[in-house]
């Protein structure tokens, strides 16, 4: 099952959480999740914070 953009719906909540907690864009969050996978929150958070520091 996928949403209208072809993404698994389970990642939508993760994207929103990552955007909310770090300030990265939705596109950046989706890219990180695609690269690192949805199961390692600490790695996602670390990389998202790294991105914010570079903005």
Q: What is the pLDDT of residues 16-45, one digit of tens each?
A: 999 999 999 999 999 999 999 999 999 999
Q: Domain range for residue 46?
A: 10-54
40 domain-assigned:
yes
Residues 55, 51: Cα–Cα separation, whole Å: 7
Residue 6, pLDDT > 90, answer no
Instruction: Supply angle C-alpha 14, 19, 24, rounded to 5.
Output: 135
2 domain-assigned:
no
54 confidence band (pLDDT: 50, 70, 90): confident
What pTM does this model have? 0.78
Number of domains in the chain: 1
30 domain-assigned:
yes
42 domain-assigned:
yes
Mean local confidence (pLDDT), 46-51:
95
4 domain-assigned:
no
């Amino acid at each position: 099952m996928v949403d209208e953009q072809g993404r698994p719906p389970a990642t939508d909540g993760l994207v929103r959480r990552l955007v909310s907690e770090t300030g990265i864009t939705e596109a950046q969050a989706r890219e990180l999740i695609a690269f690192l996978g949805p199961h390692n929150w600490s790695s996602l958070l670390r990389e998202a914070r790294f991105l914010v520091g570079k903005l």
